[in-house]
Amino acid sequence: MVQFVSVSKILDLVNKHGVETVLKGMTEYVEEDYRRWSLFDKTPRVASHSKVGVIELMPTSDGELYSFKYVNGHPKNTKEGKQTVTAFGMLADVDTGYPFFLSEMTVLTALRTAATSVMAAKHLARADSKTMAIIGNGAQSEFQALAFKAVMGITNLRLFDTDAEATEKCAANLDGKGFTITICRSSEEAITGADIITTVTADKQQATILTDNMVGAGVHINAIGGDCPGKTELHKDILLRSKIFVEYPEQTRIEGEIQQLDDDYPVVELWEVITGAAEGRTTERDITLFDSVGFAIEDFSGLRYIYDLVKQDEATQDLEMIAEPADPRNLFGLLEVKQAAE
């Protein structure tokens, strides 16, 4: 049987344990897997692009467990009452090849993306960071805010979205959760005084959410929204002034902000900073940029974390996804067994 975590189940789990506890725990799992990066199979995700969006498969394995995620990205969806990003994914046992855990991953993707962002910022942002601007106040935004509060103690938020209703929604969802929130009327206003800038907008085009003159020395940019060919958020000149950190260069060069740069432009792999193999920020004046696109190992960590939470919980649902004939070579015999039982 395959254990199944539905949307309702993951919401119950997160509510039961508390969203900040879950974000903290997941950040530890992501970091643990980044520390053993070399063990994993790595490949850029397999993307199927259309005029309106993308559908992707994201596989990886550490030699014992295998995982994959199905995920889409359709910026037009919200106008049709649907989400930009939806996902589901699985864990399987490498030894038998049997899948054993299937989970919704729309909520899980928001959690693991926020966990990865804050893990990067913990290693790259100035230690005295207190204020974060969030530009793009859609589905991912509250998860980002809460992860930065839970792990780094960031409680001052400056919010901006081209759609004022999105900002109102984000501010209302975060109300009473220990933040001081400033609602801003432009990106420029939002980043004033911010130590960390999170860009998490959705648009299937090369957008310029931030221009070079807006970004001062010492900030950390957590660039989440540019994650597809032809879909970026930052002006190229910001990249040229920043120290750039990426998940998996082979994928980021196709999908990230650095698609605007030459293929051999130097970037640092985040796992190297986390293991101490490479330097992160070296001065208070560095502009550090986490050019996030989302990588399969983060989904692996997220699934692993939720699987461990589910193990502590009695009420799980089993799915009959794998045929298990008594004689493994007599698959056909199952037809007759079933008919006889009816």
**Residues that are catalytic:** 227
User: Minimum Å distance from CB 4 to ligand NAD?
Assistant: 23
Is residue 259 a contact point for ligand NAD (CB under 6 A)? Answer: no
Is residue 89 a contact point for ligand NAD (CB under 6 A)? Answer: no
User: Binder to ligand NAD among 27, 60, 67, 84 (CB under 6 A)?
Assistant: 84
Is residue 197 a contact point for ligand NAD (CB under 6 A)? Answer: no
User: Minimum Å distance from CB 207 to ligand NAD?
Assistant: 5
10 Å CB burial of residue 230 (0-12, 13-18, 19+) is: exposed
User: Binder to ligand NAD among 115, 152, 224, 310 (CB under 6 A)?
Assistant: 224
Residue 105 C-alpha from the chain's centroid: 10
Is residue 154 a contact point for ligand NAD (CB under 6 A)? Answer: no
Using the contact rule CB under 6 A, the part of the chain among 221-229, 273-281, 307-315, 330-338 near ligand NAD is 221-229
Using the contact rule CB under 6 A, the part of the chain among 1-9, 57-65, 157-165, 306-314 near ligand NAD is 157-165
Alpha helices in the chain (DSSP H): 7-17, 19-35, 106-124, 141-152, 164-174, 187-191, 236-241, 249-255, 270-275, 296-311, 333-341
User: Minimum Å distance from CB 200 to ligand NAD?
Assistant: 5
CA 135 – CA 133 distance, rounded (Å)? 6
Phi, psi of 33 (to 5 degrees): -75, -35
CA 124 – CA 102 distance, rounded (Å)? 34
Tell the residue number behind the tokens 């502009």, with chain if given: 287
Residue 3 gets which letter from DSSP? E
Is residue 33 a contact point for ligand NAD (CB under 6 A)? Answer: no
Using the contact rule CB under 6 A, the part of the chain among 42-50, 203-211, 214-222, 311-319 near ligand NAD is 203-211
Is residue 202 a contact point for ligand NAD (CB under 6 A)? Answer: yes
Q: Which of 186, 174, 88, 84 is nearest to 133 (CA)?
A: 186
CA 78 – CA 52 distance, rounded (Å)? 12
CA 89 – CA 61 distance, rounded (Å)? 13
Is residue 73 a contact point for ligand NAD (CB under 6 A)? Answer: yes
Of residues 290 through 309, those in contact with ligand NAD by CB under 6 A are: 292-294
Pairing of strands 54-61, 46-49: antiparallel
Tell me the torsion sign for CA atoms 139, 106, 194, 226: negative
Between 150 and 246, whose beta carbon lies closer to ligand NAD? Answer: 246
**Cβ count within 10 A of residue 239:** 23
Is residue 251 a contact point for ligand NAD (CB under 6 A)? Answer: no
User: Minimum Å distance from CB 182 to ligand NAD?
Assistant: 15
Is residue 60 a contact point for ligand NAD (CB under 6 A)? Answer: no
Is residue 272 a contact point for ligand NAD (CB under 6 A)? Answer: no
Is residue 138 a contact point for ligand NAD (CB under 6 A)? Answer: yes
Between 109 and 129, whose beta carbon lies closer to ligand NAD? Answer: 109
User: Minimum Å distance from CB 155 to ligand NAD?
Assistant: 21
Residue 287 gets which letter from DSSP? P
User: Binder to ligand NAD among 27, 86, 129, 140 (CB under 6 A)?
Assistant: 140
Rg of the chain in Å (alpha carbons): 21
Using the contact rule CB under 6 A, the part of the chain among 32-40, 174-182, 289-297, 312-320 near ligand NAD is 289-297
Is residue 225 a contact point for ligand NAD (CB under 6 A)? Answer: yes
**Residue 184 in tokens:** 């801003």
**Residue 41 in tokens:** 């199979």
Contact set with ligand NAD (CB under 6 A)? 73, 78, 84-85, 109, 113, 135-140, 160-163, 166, 200-203, 207, 209, 224-225, 227, 292-294
